[in-house]
Amino acid sequence: MRVLIVEDNRDICANIAAYLEKHSYVLDFAYDGISAMHLALTNPFDVIVLDLMLPRMDGLSFCQKLRMDAEIATPILMLTARDTLDDKLKGFAAGADDYLIKPFELQELHARLQALYKRSHGKTDNLLTVGELTLNKSTLQVHRAGQRVDLNPAGMKLLQRLMEQAPSVVTRDALETLLWADERPDGDALRSHMYKLRQAIDRPFDSPLIHTVHRIGYRISEDA
């Protein structure tokens, strides 16, 4: 799960990072509202953890701009020391999806992030998205930047697995097992299939999404 942490207290950020990275989260950090807005507009996040009191742009303004102006629906978990009902209602009205009062237990933060992720993805289980690339698991239709991409069955299997695990690395062994189980062909047939997949997904466009991790496997991500 990729999460944006927006918090100006760097000690709190360090504590969150030490705990969540042990649970395989991919974390980005912003220490003010303007920097957070730039990251939120230019990167795909599964959840945003947002402090209410921020320099340059407060959490309520960030929520409102993200929802109203940018029309981005990424779930937002608001962190704040303000615990009155009125404060919570203002947060929800601005676009927050959940509220966690400081000080909080890291285990509860983890549980709430998991709940928000499952809730948001439960509505779109059939649609995988990485940047401008989408794959509908029901119709097996693939589009990048609005253009239809046609794949053979092996390419479809590989792409689906890479997108399901994005931005994590999928090992060569896992991909070979996916295609051939225990009856793997001689030679490096996987390399040939990945070449064809790249020709379809990356070659017609300006930036590659599929990346080789030398001697380990492959990953799909907007980041190189």
CATH of the domain at 43: 3.40.50.2300
**DSSP annotation of 206:** S
Clarify whether residues 144 and 172 are in a common domain: yes
Distances (CA, A) of 219 to 3, 34, 87: 18, 30, 42
* Residue 63 reports pLDDT greater than 80: yes
Boundary of a domain, candidates 122, 141, 161: 122
Clarify whether residues 86 and 132 are in a common domain: no
Q: Which of 80-94, 134-148, 177-191, 198-212 has the lowest mean pLDDT?
A: 80-94
The predicted pLDDT at position 120 comes to 76
Number of domains in the chain: 2
Cβ 39 vs Cβ 4: under 8 Å: yes
Residue range(s) defining the domain that contains residue 93:
2-122
Query: What single-letter amino acid sits at 168?
Result: S
Q: Which residue has the tokens 């009191």?
A: 53
Clarify whether residues 7 and 114 are in a common domain: yes
Clarify whether residues 10 and 102 are in a common domain: yes
Cβ 150 vs Cβ 200: under 8 Å: yes
* Residue 205 reports pLDDT greater than 70: yes
Section 155-174 average pLDDT: 93
Cβ 96 vs Cβ 78: under 8 Å: yes
Query: What single-letter amino acid sits at 45?
Result: F
The predicted pLDDT at position 27 comes to 94
Section 21-29 average pLDDT: 88
pTM of the complete model: 0.56
Clarify whether residues 116 and 132 are in a common domain: no
Could you tell me the pLDDT band of residue 122, with boundaries at 50, 70 and 90?
low
Clarify whether residues 79 and 143 are in a common domain: no
**DSSP annotation of 91:** H
Boundary of a domain, candidates 93, 122, 151: 122
Section 98-114 average pLDDT: 91
Classify the phi-psi angles of 24: left when phi > 0, otherwise alpha if psi is within -120 to 50, otherwise beta.
left
The predicted pLDDT at position 1 comes to 83
Section 103-131 average pLDDT: 82
Cβ 186 vs Cβ 178: under 8 Å: no
